[in-house]
Amino acid sequence: MQATIIENTSHNSYGFLSLSVPEEAVNDYRPGQFYMLSANNKNTYDPILRRPFAPYSVNSDRHELTFLFSIVGRGTRALADMGKDVRLSISAPLGNPFKILKGNIALIAGGVGLAPINYLAKQLIYAGANVTLYYGARNKDLLFPPFIDNKFGSFKHATPKSKQTKLVICTDDGSYEIQGFGTDLFATDVANTHFDACYAVGPKPMMRAAHDICVKHNIPLHISLEEIMACGVGACGGCMIDIKRDGKIQSVRCCTEGPAFDSKEVFF
Ligand SMILES: Cc1cc2nc3c(=O)[nH]c(=O)nc-3n(C[C@H](O)[C@H](O)[C@H](O)COP(=O)(O)OP(=O)(O)OC[C@H]3O[C@@H](n4cnc5c(N)ncnc54)[C@H](O)[C@@H]3O)c2cc1C
Ligand code: FES
């Protein structure tokens, strides 16, 4: 299906893209699912393959999607360079979503892992969960400026049934707020606070650290894996990973079985 760019801005090394999309692109979206976006040049068809992204926010009333992405290579550079009103091709929502749990929930977002976590937080708050978000990056410049300026991004406008939301921001080098890793701050809080579940999205070492803490404290952890994906629909086999399930090692397609997984199934 086709989408139209409403706004496309860059903040440090991040692109922030808002799209007007057909109703069917947003109606059935659930947190953790992703879209394949085409960034190809209409004359050269380059890059030919679409790229996978989880949305930062989804507005089903206005049929709008926004994406927060790191500009790392050809596809994301081309996406960041697209102007307002340009039309681009986008898939329907793909992949397996996160389970939405209630209770006291910890969210850990590393770098651009903030994108899926931001929208997940909004849904958890609507569902009545108490949410603590640990958001970290290597330094101040790698924290997403509009989120920091807004304190809690789009979901601060949610009408929470939950009693409590808490935001903990940290940087590896201490250039903004607390110095340290989000996982270390989570580990400290876990000693005094009961968490019913945790979700983490970010670099693999961060998700592994979250997994070790959650196993130690018997907290279910859900993570999202960002494998390289060529088709996003289970056709190419390019995203095969091994997981542990039902006492066996199974090879699965991350795009259709995931990208959301129980961390106990994953080899880090
Ligand atoms: C389900 C899913 C959701 C994602 N959501 C987001 C998001 O919300 N925001 C965001 O910034 N990125 C997200 N990614 C990663 C994003 O798809 C890649 O960064 C992007 O495809 C890179 O395209 P490129 O052409 O710019 O880079 P390329 O030129 O293809 O590669 C540049 C560098 O990025 C690495 N890379 C390529 N594809 C991926 C990938 N899938 N994951 C990690 N590294 C990759 C390459 O190994 C290389 O080092 C997501 C990935 C998946 C699978
Ligand atoms: S990306 Fe093609 S099978 Fe998963």
234 lines ligand 2 (CB under 6 A): yes
Determine which residue's CA is closest to atom 10 belonging to ligand 1.
69
Q: How far is ligand 2, taken at its centre, from the CA of residue 230, in Å?
A: 6
Contact between residue 230 and residue 236 where contact means Cβ atoms under 8 Å apart: yes
Q: Does domain 225-268 have CATH number 1.10.10?
A: no
Determine which residue's CA is closest to atom 52 belonging to ligand 1.
226
Question: What pLDDT was estimated at residue 155?
Answer: 52
The two three-digit tokens of residue 121, written as one number: 């937080």
Contact between residue 93 and residue 25 where contact means Cβ atoms under 8 Å apart: yes
- Per-residue pLDDT, averaged over 240-256, amounts to 96
237 lines ligand 2 (CB under 6 A): yes
Contact between residue 96 and residue 32 where contact means Cβ atoms under 8 Å apart: yes
Residue 258 has pLDDT above 50, yes or no: yes
Band (pLDDT 50/70/90 cuts) for residue 46 is confident
**Block residue for tokens 């209630």:** 102
Ligand 1 atom nearest the C-alpha of 39 is 25
259 lines ligand 1 (CB under 6 A): yes
Report field, pTM of the whole predicted structure over 0.85 = yes
Q: Which ligand is nearest to the CA of 227?
A: 1
Q: Which ligand is nearest to the CA of 238?
A: 2
Q: Which ligand is nearest to the CA of 236?
A: 2
Determine the residue of 228, 233, 241, 243 to mutate for testing ligand 2's pocket, defined as the one with the most ligand atoms within 8 A of the Cβ atom. 233
C-alpha 132/C-alpha 121 separation (Å) is 9
C-alpha 21/C-alpha 23 separation (Å) is 6
Q: How far is ligand 1, taken at its centre, from the CA of residue 53, in Å?
A: 8
C-alpha 68/C-alpha 57 separation (Å) is 9
Superfamily designation of domain 2-89: Translation factors (2.40.30.10)
C-alpha 33/C-alpha 55 separation (Å) is 8
Determine which residue's CA is closest to atom 42 belonging to ligand 1.
226
Handedness of CA 35, 56, 226, 144 (dihedral sign): positive
Phi-psi bin for 246: left (phi > 0), alpha (psi -120 to 50), beta?
Answer: left
Strands (E), 172-253: 178-179, 197-201, 221-224, 240-245, 248-253
Residue 255 has pLDDT above 80, yes or no: yes
What digits encode the pLDDT tens for the residues 209-238? 999 999 999 999 999 999 999 999 999 999
C-alpha 108/C-alpha 201 separation (Å) is 6
Phi, psi angles (nearest 5°) of residue 70? -80, 135
- Per-residue pLDDT, averaged over 40-52, amounts to 86
What digits encode the pLDDT tens for the residues 153-199? 545 555 445 556 788 899 999 999 899 999 999 999 999 999 999 99
C-alpha 41/C-alpha 46 separation (Å) is 5
Q: Does domain 104-224 have CATH number 3.40.50.80?
A: yes
C-alpha 89/C-alpha 39 separation (Å) is 8
222 lines ligand 1 (CB under 6 A): no
Determine which residue's CA is closest to atom 7 belonging to ligand 1.
53
Contact between residue 181 and residue 206 where contact means Cβ atoms under 8 Å apart: yes
The distance from CA 224 to its chain's CA centroid, rounded to whole angstroms, is: 7
Strand-pairing partners, residue 243, are 250, 266
Residue 151 has pLDDT above 70, yes or no: no
Handedness of CA 223, 50, 240, 181 (dihedral sign): negative
The two three-digit tokens of residue 184, written as one number: 């270390």
The full set of domain ranges for the chain reads: 2-89, 104-224, 225-268
What digits encode the pLDDT tens for the residues 194-215? 999 999 999 999 999 999 999 9
Q: How far is ligand 2, taken at its centre, from the CA of residue 33, in Å?
A: 14
